[in-house]
Amino acid sequence: MAYVHPDRAAWTDFLALPRDEPVQMLNLIRLRDVADYPADHPDHGKSVSGSEAYEAYHRATGHVMARFGGRRVWSGKPQVQITGPVDEAWDMAVITEYPTAQAFIDMVRDPDYREGVSHRSAAVADARVVRIAPAAD
């Protein structure tokens, strides 16, 4: 089973956690070979790779993330999965950070972000997104 968008029950659990604390988000992403835009999207039917669509997502939403105090802390390309199912190989791993969980919530509810997320939906074949509480030094 592939996952692209938050599960309603998991989102409810996320919302129940403290909102006034810093939060990091671990993103594991598997991209489609060809982006799958819906019929009403301007890029529907175009030969856009999943990687190109994901970059379009970042271009469309990066300023929104910054407006809410978010930033990309780390990103990389996984090479081999040493532990776990081999069918869960990932094309990219990204950690983002937000000053508070509420800032993340506000970002994903922002109309500009919601418009840009169509590129992510088209690009991603499967994903895991995990909320992480930053470790105390």
Domains recognised in the chain with CATH numbers = 22-132 (3.30.70.100)
Provide the residue-wise pLDDT of the chain in tens; the chain has 137 residues.
Answer: 777 878 888 899 999 999 999 999 999 999 999 999 999 988 898 889 999 999 999 999 999 999 999 999 999 999 988 898 887 889 999 999 999 999 999 999 999 999 999 999 999 999 999 999 888 77
The string of pLDDT tens digits covering residues 48-85 is 999 999 999 999 999 999 999 999 999 999 998 889 88
37: region left, alpha or beta (phi > 0 left; psi from -120 to 50 alpha):
beta
Non-local CB neighbours of 41 within 8 Å, separated by 6+ positions? 118, 122
| Sheet with 124-132, edge to edge strand ranges | 71-76, 92-98, 23-31, 124-132
Measured in degrees and rounded to the nearest 5, phi and psi for residue 99 equal -65, -30
Measured in degrees and rounded to the nearest 5, phi and psi for residue 131 equal -75, 135
Q: Which residue has the tokens 């692209």?
A: 4
